[in-house]
Amino acid sequence: MHCDACERLVRRSVKKIEGVEAVEVDREENKVTVTGDFKTEKLLKKIKKKTGKRAEILVPEENEEEGKEKNQSLLLKI
């Protein structure tokens, strides 16, 4: 993410996903921290579809039950 518009687009796209409670964007590091109760696969697909940017998980998932986690905090590199 190199500008305010890119940051805004990512933030808005992620906030609209069901179960997302908080989104923190670190534009200098190209990282996004997402907190809430959501499916990680859905999150990655939505980011790719809405922004055209590739996202990858930096912090590994834990305690996954049926593809959904409770109150997780996920760090993504965009």
User: What is residue 78's predicted lDDT score, i.e. its pLDDT?
Assistant: 82
The reply to whether CATH 1.20.120 applies to domain 4-77 is no
Residue 64 has pLDDT above 60, yes or no: no
What does pTM read for this prediction? 0.76
User: What is residue 9's predicted lDDT score, i.e. its pLDDT?
Assistant: 92
User: What is residue 23's predicted lDDT score, i.e. its pLDDT?
Assistant: 94
The model's confidence at residue 2, banded by pLDDT at 50, 70 and 90, is confident
Phi, psi of 29 (to 5 degrees): -95, -5
Residues with Cβ within 8 Å of residue 14, at least 6 apart in sequence: 20, 23, 32, 34, 43, 46, 47
For the chain, give every domain's residue range.
Answer: 4-77
pLDDT digits (tens, 9 = 90+) for 21-61: 999 999 999 999 999 998 889 899 988 998 888 889 987 65
